[in-house]
């Protein structure tokens, strides 16, 4: 029969200082007396008795002579205590790592190919560190704190900073790999006019053209699906003074929301500073910056005079009138419907919604990197 080995792992350990204290009490010795006999200061002895300092070999030999207790006993107690305390520290460190990992949208990150697929939380922990390009949890906290300083969020809602940081990191990684020219404001304005004419095209046609026209003006475009419960539609930030980033989540999938969000983010690039990270929620409203970006997007897509004239001439809005305006302004009909609904001139539930087109978002990062983690 084979033998089974059982490893004994006690759930406690005794510091040698505790035994020394008990010995002093049992023998009626005072601390200062023992300190003097073994040739150390009373303060040093007190630290040993309270478990704050180890018993070194030299001190163990002196204790053996004074207390008639073998030096090896003190050293063994010391070694066992140190080993136990290190194991307890490792348990706490492991629990902290697992607790930190569980704060993130792990399934989403795994399904999109950003972190390793495994139930081993320690491997997931290491994969998360790689994803964020950091070495420790405090490093991630510093990263998030730096984001928070620059972070402006529109809409009144709460969301997970862990999920938001993942979403932004994906956009950052896509943007870093994108080849762009140095930012040029005038070029971007001109190219936005060209992009506006692409609203009538299919995604397969307009997607590469948008990216190229923006890249020529110093802006990297990143299509990144939002994470659950974050309700993010877009974001704008700068990697450096010469490279801006526009992120789009395609939250609502309809073309009116997509194009309005794109030009809203473009408004942030043109109108606002380079220090902030502006993250937009589903509402795209709230602050002065958001209202400025809203006005920019609305007026860029449909010139104010054209829109006012359309409203005056069409008290009863029809499919034909919308198609006519779309042809005249060279934009998708769905964009006009979205504008009319936002201005409460059309109900959100209407047969005219059939003129809107729905888009699907692919895994942009996997597409750009060949699916590599």
Please say whether the beta carbons of 265 and 236 come within 8 A.
yes
What CATH code is assigned to 16-100?
1.10.260.40
Collapse the DSSP code of 210 into the 3-class scheme (helix H, G, I; strand E, B; otherwise coil) and give the result: helix
**Contact call for residues 345 and 311 (beta carbons, < 8 A):** yes
Rg (CA), the chain: 33
C-alpha 23: how far from its chain's center? 56
Closest CA to 334 of 155, 234, 201: 201
Helix 71-101 vs helix 57-67: angle between axes, to the nearest 10 degrees?
A: 130
Q: Domain extents for the chain?
A: 16-100, 150-368
Residues 294 and 305 sit within 8 Å (Cβ to Cβ): no
pLDDT tens, the chain, 373 aa long: 444 444 555 667 899 999 999 999 999 999 999 999 999 999 999 999 999 999 999 999 999 999 999 999 999 999 999 998 888 888 889 999 999 999 999 999 999 999 999 999 999 999 999 999 999 999 999 888 877 655 655 543 457 889 989 999 999 999 999 999 999 999 999 999 999 999 999 988 999 999 999 999 999 999 998 888 777 889 999 999 999 999 998 776 789 999 999 999 999 999 998 888 888 865 555 678 889 999 999 999 999 999 999 999 998 999 999 999 999 999 999 999 999 999 999 999 999 999 999 887 665 544 444 334 3
How many CA within 13 A on the CB side of residue 102?
A: 6
From the number of C-beta atoms within 10 Å of its C-beta (0-12, 13-18, 19+), residue 68 rates as: exposed
Strand segments, DSSP code E, in the chain are 151-153, 219-223, 232-240, 243-248, 277-281
- Taking the model in full, what pTM does it have? 0.76
Q: Are 84 and 13 in contact (CB under 8 A)?
A: yes
Question: What is the C-alpha to C-alpha distance for residues 24 and 26, in angstroms, rounded to an integer?
Answer: 6
User: Which token pair is 149?
Assistant: 């300083």
- Establish how many alpha carbons lie within 13 A of residue 254's alpha carbon, considering only the half-sphere containing its beta carbon: 15
The dihedral of CA 84, 85, 91, 94: what is its sign? negative
**Residue 34 structure tokens:** 């023992």
Contact assessment for residue 364 and residue 167, using Cβ atoms and an 8 Å cutoff? no
């Amino acid at each position: 029969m084979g033998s089974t080995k059982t490893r004994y792992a006690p759930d406690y350990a005794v510091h040698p200082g505790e035994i020394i204290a008990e010995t002093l009490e049992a023998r009626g010795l005072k601390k200062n007396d023992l300190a003097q006999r073994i040739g150390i200061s009373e303060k040093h002895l007190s630290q040993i008795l309270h478990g704050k300092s180890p018993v070194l070999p030299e001190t163990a030999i002196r204790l053996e002579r004074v207390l008639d207790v073998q030096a090896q006993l003190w050293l063994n107690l010391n070694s066992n205590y140190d080993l136990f305390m290190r194991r307890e520290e490792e348990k706490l460190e492991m629990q902290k790592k697992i607790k930190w990992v569980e704060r993130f949208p792990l399934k989403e990150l795994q399904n999109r190919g950003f972190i390793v697929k495994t139930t081993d939380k320690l491997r997931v922990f290491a994969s998360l560190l790689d994803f964020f390009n950091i070495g420790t949890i405090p490093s991630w906290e510093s990263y998030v704190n730096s984001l928070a300083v620059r972070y402006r969020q529109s809409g009144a809602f709460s969301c997970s900073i862990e999920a938001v940081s993942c979403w932004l990191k994906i956009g950052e990684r896509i943007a870093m790999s994108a080849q762009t020219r140095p930012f040029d404001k005038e070029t971007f304005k001109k190219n936005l006019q060209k992009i506006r004419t692409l609203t009538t095209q299919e995604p397969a046609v307009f997607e590469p053209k948008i990216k190229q026209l923006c890249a020529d003006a110093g802006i990297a475009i990143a299509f990144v699906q939002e994470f659950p419960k974050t309700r993010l539609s877009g974001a704008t930030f700068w990697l450096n003074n010469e490279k801006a980033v526009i992120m789009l989540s395609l939250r609502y999938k309809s073309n009116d929301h997509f194009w309005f969000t794109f030009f809203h983010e473009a408004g942030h690039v043109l109108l606002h500073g380079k220090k902030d990270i502006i993250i937009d929620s589903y509402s795209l409203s709230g602050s002065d910056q958001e209202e400025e970006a809203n006005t920019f997007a609305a007026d860029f897509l449909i010139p104010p005079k054209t829109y006012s004239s359309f409203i005056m001439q069409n008290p009863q809005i029809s499919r034909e009138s919308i198609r006519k305006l779309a042809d005249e302004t060279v934009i998708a009909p769905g964009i006009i419907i979205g504008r009319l609904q936002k201005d409460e001139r059309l109900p959100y539930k209407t047969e005219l919604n059939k003129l809107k087109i729905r888009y699907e978002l692919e895994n942009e990062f996997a597409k750009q990197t060949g699916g590599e983690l």
